[in-house]
Every structure is written in structure tokens, then in C-alpha cells.
Structure 1
Amino acid sequence: MIKKIIKKDIKNILNPIILLVFIVIIIVPSLYSLVNIVAFWDPYNNIDQLNVGIVNEDNGYIGKELVNSLEKTKDLNFVSTNYENGYKNLNRGSYYGLMIIPKNFTKSIESINTSNPYHGDIQFLTNGKTNMVANKIMTSGGIEIQKEINDKIVSTIAGITFGEGKNISDLSMPKINSYESEMNTINNYLSKSYTLSKLVYKDAKKVIIYVNKTNHSEKLLKTLTNDLNKLNNKINNFNNQRILFEDDVNYFNENYYPLLVKISKYNTLSVENYFNSPVIINNTDIHPLKSYGDGIAQFYIPLSLFIGNLIPLAMFSPRVKGLKVKPFQEYLGKLALFGLISVLQSTVLTIGLVIINVQYFNPFMLIISNIFIGLCFTIFIYSLVSSLGNSGKFITILMLVFQIGGSGGMYPIQLLPKFFQIIHFILPISYGVNIIRENVAAPLVDVLISNALILLIFPIFGVIFTLIIKPFLQKKINDVENILEKSELF
């Protein structure tokens, strides 16, 4: 009897009109996925088309330089304007952001040269009602602009702060050695001068002794003695200063000379770069995606397969008419039709993904994964509809609503409300998303198998549930569907 059901369905499909509907049912789910993937393939590559107004009210020169710099950037399309027109365009959606540079901007930046520096304020206006994603880009853009301006200012200040060190570092080793040699020469000269002074003092002392022996006047002797004492004091003072200078030279040679040698080897550009960014984070994506479209494909592929399995159940009846069959015969016989549709949908979808060049690790693994996911969805959805009728369709649609938000396909599940975090684990698309993700690059076999086994629970549950419940509910469901059909509303 199951074979008769399958043959009857195949015969009906060969009708030209039904065949056309059959083909449309196979293609439409693929179009849903492929069109959305292509539409969002690389939107961030075109953010230079987003208009951002700049109002420069600065009385100084820095605001003008900032405007010129921003107008040359390719990150966003910056347009100079006045406040009135800028706000009007922002409010009407022509501008996605409006930057206002205040009158005292240059003064605030130059306040670093005063004893009371203060930061410069730039107002960045956005319009949340224009577009959610654009508004997010504008907010991030404002942060990036702030970072860029701060980096330039810090770079300038670092250059000024390091200016003295830079002058020192311009000293070459020969110059440093020359300075050391000159100081040593001066020290030697002072030492010789001191020695010579002592000799002069001794000779002068001999003269006084000679004068004393020759009985010269006492007044002359006293004058010479006083002059000699003064000379001796000056020599002693000179010697003290010489000793201090010698100590300074020794201290310089022991402390500053090695430092100058070290500074002379500095790369001043490297030092300034260090002050600009003491820490650099090197980002590396271990499984990089070629485009944004490759990322959202991981969500749209299983989503389109789930929706694709809802469409034939809305178009084709899961009931057998014209034949007396048992509930399990009807269930298994009709399952072949919907299973065939699912396989064809998955195949067409995979071909489309290859054509638009979606990133995948292996095409064979991709088509097997898509067929597996599609069949799991088909058996589960068909089982609910076959056993519960329109109530099964309602449950499936309700699941679809929650799966769009709770599957974790677009946003990490940890970022979603607690309710979606709880139901995430009982939604079949969640595991379909994980399987497709493992198809992107270097799949983890254990992750792939574990998600496949969990996803397999849904069709197994559907089969067992249907084989148990369907015999008891079959007559009631048929009666309800007959009533709905006679109402000419369904």
C-alpha cells in the first residue's frame, strides 16, 4: 500500500500544472537564502557612501585641518556644511551623522602649553530612526574619529615632550667623545695651573726669606708677607674649585657619559611611536571569512531549509485520498514525497551557493550537510503536521518565529535575552547553524558529529510521536479538516 501511495503521488506530479508548482516549491527556498546572502554580501565595503556632515565653528586652524583630513578619508563621505543645513539633512535622513567642531577647539587643544590643560569637545549627532545598522556604524565611526584625533594629538605632544631627548640623541659618538676629551683637557690644564701656582708661591716665599735676611724695611717685609698670604688663599680656593670640577668630571664620566652613549643609539621615531601606542594588539582570525555574506550564510542556509519544508506542506496535502490506508501507511507513503522535495531543495540550494561563491571547506561535505539538515527538518515538520493536522502547522510556524531570534545564527546567544538563551537548546535550527559553520573551514569532526546527533533527535522524536499518536487522532483530525474544507475558507 505504501508503494501505491508513492506511485500515485509521482503520477500526479507529472501533471504539467502540478509539475510547475512542484518546481517552484523546490526553487523558492533557495531563492530566499541566496537573494539575502547576495544582498548582504559585503555592505561594509560601501560605507563611504554614507553622508556625514561637518560643521566647523572653530576660530583657530586645527578645526580646518581636521575637516581637510576627514574629507580625504574613504571611511565615510564627510561633507562640509553649516549647522542649519546639516541638522536639517540629518533630521530628514540625507545625512547619517553630523559632526560639530566648537569655536574653542584649537584653544582647547593648545591648552597643553598652559598650567591648566583641558580636552577638546566635538559633538557627533546621529539619527536613530533612519537606519539601525547605519546608526551603529555612525556611533562606531564617532569613536574611531575620536581615536584618530587623539592619536594625532598624542603624537604631537610626544614629539614635543621628547624634543630634548631628540636633540641629545642627535649627538653622534664622536661628539660625545669630543666633549669628554675637552673636559679632561680642562681638568688637566687646571691641575697644571695649580702645580705652577704652588711653584710660584714657593718662589715668592723664598723672596721674602731673602728680603728678611738682607735687613730690608719692616714695612716692605710686611707688605710682601700679606701679598704672599693672599696668593696662598687664592691658590687654595683655586685648588678647591679644581677639585670640585674634577669631581664633576668624574661624576659625568661615571654616570652621564654612559647615558649619552645609550641615548645616542636611540631611534627617536621608534620612541615617539612607543609613546603613541605602548601596546599593539595583533588581531588574527584563525578561520577568516571572505565576506559578510559568508557569515550570514551560516544562518540563512538552515533557515531557508526549514521554511522550504513548510511550503510543500502548505501546498500539498499530507492525506491520502481515494485509497483506504492505515495511519502508519499514510504517514510513510506521504513521507517519501516530502523527503524527495527536501533533497531536491537542498541540492538546488547547494548549487546556488557554489555559483555565488559562498565560502565552504568541501563541496561534497556541504551538500551532504544540507541534505541531512533538510531531511531532519522535513521528517520533524511532516510528523507534526501528519499527526496533529493544522495544529502541527501552527506549532511549526511558532517554532520558526522563535528560531529566527533564538538560534544564535546572527548574534551570539549570550547577547540575547534570557528566554532565548533557555529555548536555544530545543530549537532544531540552532544545530543546523552549527553544522553549517563547521562547513566553512577546517571542520571539527567531534563538533560536527555531536550537532548532527542532537539534530537527529528531532526527526526520531517526530516518527515515534506520530506512530503512537496518529492512530488515535486520525479520525478526529480528518473530521476537523473536512469541516474546514467545507467552509471554503481553508
Structure 2
Amino acid sequence: MRNAWTLVRRDLRRSTTNVMAIIVLAGLVMIPSLFTWFNVIATWDPFGNTKNLTVAVANTDEGYQSALIPLRVNIGEQAISALRANNDLNWVITSRDDAIEGTRSGEYYAALVLPPEFSTDMMTFYEDGGQRTAIEYYTNEKKNALAPNITEQGATEVSTNINEAFAATLGEVGLRIISSLSEELNDPDTQAALSRLEAGVGQIAAQLRSGAGTADIFTALISSSVPLVTSASDLAASSGRALQQASDAISGGADAARSLTSTLTSAAGSLGGALSASDASYQAVSDRIDDVYASLDDQSSSSADTVEALAARVQTQVDQYVRARDSAVATVAPLIPDIARGAFDLVVSRLDNAIARQQALRDGLENAALQLRNNNADTGAARQEALGLVADAREAIESAKNAYDTSLRPKLEALGSTLSSIDDGIATVGNDLSTATATLSGGTDKLLDRLAQAQSTTSSVSDSLTDAADRFDGLSMALAEAIDTGDLRALTDAIGNDPGMLATSLSKPVQLERVPVFAVASFGSAMTPLYLMLGLWVGALLASVAIRVDVPVGALPQGESLTPDQTYIGRYGIFALVGFAQSTLVSIGLILFVQVEPAHPWLLILAAWVSSLVFTLITYTFVVAFGNAGKALSVLLLVFQIAGSGGAYPLQVLPQWFPNISPFLPGTHAVDAIRSAIAGVYDGDYWMALGWLVLFIVPILLLGFVLRRPLMDYNKNLLRELESTKLM
């Protein structure tokens, strides 16, 4: 590294002690500045000098005169008059043939020709079958690439001016019509027509006022309806509460009906089951009595026990009947309806008879058991008596069962079905009552809002009709004054006497307000990033062409040598110094001489320094690694960067492969950094662009220190071959 610095110092000393070296280096430093400065100055404000572009205008408009109004209108002449006061382009008024031929010969950059039917088309555009008028526009695209776009912009402005003149002409024609009418007021026919017009206007005003009165009536009617709606709302609320109470009562009735149905069903089921079971049970008692008395001789004591057991069994049956009868009387009797009262009483009386017969059977069995224990019983008589008691009990039970099955149970079943239907009806009525209550309570507020809205609408309609009636009254008074005095000034005031304001409103309903973001001083300032990047690249390329990249024999002291890496880094020193001088001069000159007015002057100088450092390293390394081919490669890279860096045209409007290669070009990031320094930094974009630019140093150093070694012998042989041609 020490030998490399020694080489840098020797190169610097040789370049400053030799006159020719000083002249060459001064030229290398000046060329990038001259390239950048004069290109920026040339593009400083090209659109501000468009007045030097000659554009021919030919008017062949024949004008227009309506059959109704005897006034001739020639909008083409008014457009020509407006162009005479326009300095955006150098307008030349000439004939149609001269305009077209001058455009073909290059005397004019473009030509505008107004057709003969120009005014006719514009004044009849509203009629059925009307056509939009067209201006013939001829442009010479061979003469200059940018001039057709500029002249087309001028032609668009002409179209805008013509539209404005057309709007102003309409206002002027209206006033001329009124003026011409004032001259005709003394004619009897005109007086009669104006009188009829005055009467019609007055009648319209009266109708409008009548309509306003009707609207006021509707407003008053709506206002009086509000208390009625409020009262209805209160009534609906009270009705809702009453309906709710009724619903609660019905719901209670439904619960009672369901309870009655359940009670009757349970009691009837218990009673029916008891009656059915008793009949089968007493058949078994009768059979057991026969068995007891058949075996009486053998087992008297055992038979007495069996009879006592039958008596106890009958007592159990009696107890069940008593409980069933008491339960029915206690639970069913209070709930039974009158229609089933007789059947219920019949069943109860039959139950009482069955209970009494069963008690008699129990007593007879107990008496028979006592006789059996004392052995003093008449077996046949006792048997027949017991069987007779059983038969009486069974008959009484059967009678109670028949009364229940034929009288009480059908009526209880019918009552259960009726109660079920009532339950369903109660549920339906409750739902209907709930819906009705919700509807009555929820719609009043909406109705009041609609009434308020309707009241506001009718009031607004009344005001509008009254205002329109006032206007027609004013027009009627103006017509009356015009008839009496023959002066149309009052009528003019009623209609409007400011055609200029009308024309401005029609032609320019919207005004565009431009708000610049990151504003630049001029078009040349906006082009500075591209020309500064190209100037620094051209300077780096010229330095690699004018300054040797190798160390010739004899340039070092006797016995001193340098390695290839020391030669590479040491010789680059003079290139870096030249690039530093180039970037310093060109950036300071842009600020002080060209007056670009960057937002951040020091950042502009820093961007120029970093760009020059990277550019000189790239071109120097290409020449070191590839020889003359490296110079050609640097020129090729320059060609790509002219369009691919995005300095002139947005990358989005270029062919797709330009946006694809743009991130891999060092000029792209140099342009971004310089543009941020001139217009303003946003979210660190300046430093990001410089960072990407500095990253190009990494692959270039890799090429200079490592990848170029295999090419060194090839480049030496190639150089000898070129020198042997005595031409290269």
C-alpha cells in the first residue's frame, strides 16, 4: 500500500510540472462542465419561447344568419381577432392554400383552417341532426420532433379560445336582439305582441301565487294534523296497555284450562282403573269362596283363615273405592262444568252403592269366618250367602263402571278437547295482541317525522313559487314600461346585461389551481440530473482514454517494482483526483453560473462527488481489465444510461426492457440522488439512492483485484497484435 501511495504522489507531481499535462488535465476537468452547463442552459425554458414558432391560420368561415333573427354571426372572424392578441405562438393569418403549402415546405410548423360552415355548425349544434364543428389541423412532423407537440398544444388552446368566444357571442347576440326589438317597439304589431306577452306573464305570476297559496294550505293542514297524530299515539299506548292486560288474563285462563284438563284426565283415569280392576278382583274372590267351602271338612281352621284373608282383601278394595270417591269429589267436583254435573253425581251415587255392597260383603265374610272357627256354620247356607254378597258387590261395581263409561267419561273427553282448542285459541289471540300493541306503539314517531318533513317541503315549495311569481311580476312591469316608454333598459336589467360574466361562466365553469410539490425553478433545472450524470460519465470516460492505466517501464526508480494490485490502486489515484475536480467544478458552476437553485446545495455537491468516484472507478477498471474493449464497454453503458436512467422520460412510458435494466445502471441512482438534492428530500430517498450507487463499488473492486488476473496475459498479447498492425 505504501508503494501505491508513492505512485499517486509521483503521478500528481508529473501532472503539475509538465505544461502539456496541465493543459490536457485542464481540458479533462472542463469538458464535463461545458457539456452539462450548456445543455441545461439550452433546455432552461423551451416552452417559454414558443412565440417564435410560426403557425398559419386560415379563416374560410362564411358566417351564419338565422331566419328568425336578422343578425349575421361570424365566429371565425372573432377567433382570428382573439388570435391576434395571443402571443403564445407566432400566428400568421393567411389563405387556406398558402397555409397548407407553407406547412408542407417548412415555412410554417403547423396550420389551422376554419371551414366555411364553421359558424353554422356552432350556432345550430342544438338542432336535430346538428353536427359538431371541426377545425382542420395540419402539422409538419418532419421539421422537428418536439415542435408538433408544442403546436398541437397551441391548437388545443385555439379550440378553447374559440369556445370562449362562442359563449361570449351568444351573450352579445342576445343583447343585440333586445336592442333591435327596442327599435321596433313603435310598430303596432310589436305593441300588440308585447301586450299579449305582458298579459301572459301576469297570468303566470297569478298562477304561481295561487300555487304558493295552495302549498300554504297544505302546510297549515299538516300542522293541524300533528296534535291528532299525538292523541292517536296516546290512545294507541293506552290501548296497548289494556290489550296487554287482556292478554295476561287470557294467558291465565289458558293456564287454568290446561290445569283443569290435567286434573280431570288424572282423576278420570284413576277412577276408571279402579273400576276395571275391581271387577276382575271380585271374580277371584268368588272363585276362592267356592274352593274354601269345597274343602271345609278337611281344614276348618285353615278355611277360616282364608275367609278372613278374603275379608281383609275386600276391605282393601273398599278403602281404594273410598279414596277414589273422595278424590273425585274433592278435585273434580269444583271444576266440573254444569253440562257434566248430572253424570258426575250419578257416578258418585253408584260408587257409594258399590262401597256399601262391598262393606256388606266384608261383614258377611267376617261372620262366616267366625262361624267356621266355632264349627256351628251351615255350610251350604253360608256359601250361598257369601256368593250372593259377592254377586251384589260385582253388580254394584259394574253399575258404577257403566255409569262412568256411558255418562261421565264421554263428557270429560269432550270437555278436554274443548279446553285444548281454547288453549290454542288463547295462544293465537295473545300473539295477535302482542303484534297489534307493537305496531301501535312503534309507528307514531315515524309518522310525526314524515309529517314534519312534508311540512318543510310544502313550505319550501311555497317560498319557491312566491319567488318565481315575484320575478314574473318584475318582468311584467318591465314589459309594461317598455310598451309605455319604448325603452328596453328595464327589460334588459330583468334578463341580465352582463354577457361577459355569462360567457366566462359558460366557457370556464371550473378553474384549475396548480399546487407544485417539490417545485423546481425551470425545465432546465428538471433536466439537470440527467445532464450532470452524463457529463460526469463522459468526463470519466475521457480520463480513461487520455490517461494511461498501466505504469510504463522507467516510471519507477531503479530496483523498485509494484504488484498488480498496487499498480491498480495506485494508478487510480490520478483518476480519482481528476474526477473530484470535474464534479466540484460542474456542481458549483450549476449553482453559481447556471443558477439551478437546488433545495440542498451541499447535497448536490456530495452527490456529484460520489457519482464521479463511482464512474471513474468503473471506467478505469473496465480499461484495466479489458483494455480497449473496456473503453467500448464504457461507451455502451453510457448509451444504455441515456434513456434507462429515467432522467428525461418516465420509465413507465418506455419499452418494458428499459424499466427492467434501470436498477442495474449506476446512472439511475445518480440521477435519483441529484434530483432529490435539487427538488427536495422525501423520506431519506437521497441517502438510499447514494447507498445503491456506492454498492456498485463492490463488484468493480472484485473485477479489479480478482477477476482481471486471468485476462492480463490475454490483454498483453492483444495489445501486441494491435500494435503490429501499425494502425491501432
TM range (shorter): 0.7 to 0.9
Do the aligned residues in 2 keep the contact of 1:158 with 1:276 (CA within 8 Å)? no
For 2:551, give the aligned amino acid: V
Q: Residue 236 of structure 1 aligns with which residue?
A: none
CA distance in 2: counterparts of 1:153 and 1:434, whole angstroms:
47
Deviation at 1:300, TM superposition (A): 0.4
CA distance in 1: counterparts of 2:25 and 2:100, whole angstroms:
54
Q: Residue 103 of structure 1 aligns with which residue?
A: 116
Q: For 1:53, what is the secondary structure of its paired residue?
A: strand
Q: Residue 25 of structure 2 aligns with which residue?
A: 22
| 1:84–1:383 distance in 2 versus 1, CA, 3 Å | same
Do the aligned residues in 1 keep the contact of 2:75 with 2:165 (CA within 8 Å)? no
Q: For 2:111, what is the secondary structure of its paired residue?
A: strand
Q: Residue 474 of structure 1 aligns with which residue?
A: 712
Deviation at 1:359, TM superposition (A): 2.3
Q: Residue 489 of structure 1 aligns with which residue?
A: 727
Q: Residue 525 of structure 2 aligns with which residue?
A: 294
For 2:577, give the aligned amino acid: L
1:256 to 462, 465, 482: 465
Correspondence 1:63 to 2:63: no
1:58-98 CA distance string (max 9 Å, x none) = 11222122112112101111111112322222112110111
For 1:386, give the aligned amino acid: V
Unaligned runs of 5+ in 1: 164-185, 187-242
Q: Residue 607 of structure 2 aligns with which residue?
A: 369
2:55 to 47, 52, 55: 52
Which one has the largest radius of gyration? 2
| 1:89–1:81 distance in 2 versus 1, CA, 3 Å | same
Do the aligned residues in 1 keep the contact of 2:164 with 2:503 (CA within 8 Å)? no
| 1:162–1:335 distance in 2 versus 1, CA, 3 Å | farther
| 1:244–1:277 distance in 2 versus 1, CA, 3 Å | closer
* Aligned residues between the structures: 415
CA distance in 2: counterparts of 1:416 and 1:72, whole angstroms:
39
2:142 to 129, 153, 157: 129
Correspondence 1:150 to 2:387: no
CA distance in 1: counterparts of 2:706 and 2:54, whole angstroms:
62
Percent identity between matched residues is 26
CA distance in 2: counterparts of 1:359 and 1:152, whole angstroms:
41
CA distance in 2: counterparts of 1:12 and 1:135, whole angstroms:
54
| 1:272–1:398 distance in 2 versus 1, CA, 3 Å | same
Q: Residue 282 of structure 1 aligns with which residue?
A: 513
CA distance in 1: counterparts of 2:657 and 2:208, whole angstroms:
81
Do the aligned residues in 1 keep the contact of 2:53 with 2:90 (CA within 8 Å)? yes
Q: Residue 173 of structure 1 aligns with which residue?
A: none
Deviation at 1:281, TM superposition (A): 3.2
| TM-score for both structures, normalised by structure 2 | 0.53
Deviation at 1:16, TM superposition (A): 0.4
2:627 to 383, 389, 404: 389
CA distance in 1: counterparts of 2:712 and 2:602, whole angstroms:
40
Do the aligned residues in 1 keep the contact of 2:610 with 2:694 (CA within 8 Å)? no
| TM-score for both structures, normalised by structure 1 | 0.77
Correspondence 1:321 to 2:530: no
Q: Which moved further from structure 2: 123-132 or 469-478?
A: 469-478
Do the aligned residues in 2 keep the contact of 1:158 with 1:275 (CA within 8 Å)? no
Q: Residue 657 of structure 2 aligns with which residue?
A: 419
| 1:101–1:274 distance in 2 versus 1, CA, 3 Å | closer
Deviation at 1:247, TM superposition (A): 4.3
CA distance in 2: counterparts of 1:351 and 1:86, whole angstroms:
48
| 1:332–1:90 distance in 2 versus 1, CA, 3 Å | same
Cα RMSD after superposing both structures:
3.1
For 2:42, give the aligned amino acid: A
| 1:378–1:112 distance in 2 versus 1, CA, 3 Å | same
Do the aligned residues in 2 keep the contact of 1:327 with 1:470 (CA within 8 Å)? no
Deviation at 1:117, TM superposition (A): 2.9
Do the aligned residues in 2 keep the contact of 1:51 with 1:76 (CA within 8 Å)? yes
Q: Residue 8 of structure 1 aligns with which residue?
A: 10
Unaligned runs of 5+ in 2: 64-73, 177-201, 217-461, 475-493
Q: Which moved further from structure 2: 142-151 or 409-418?
A: 142-151
Do the aligned residues in 2 keep the contact of 1:51 with 1:78 (CA within 8 Å)? yes
1:85-125 CA distance string (max 9 Å, x none) = 22222112110111111111122122147444322221010
Counterparts of 1:82-481 in structure 2 under 5 Å? 82-112=95-125, 114-154=127-167, 247-248=210-211, 250-251=213-214, 254=462, 255-259=464-468, 273-322=504-553, 323=556, 324-354=561-591, 355-444=593-682, 446-481=684-719
CA distance in 2: counterparts of 1:456 and 1:423, whole angstroms:
18
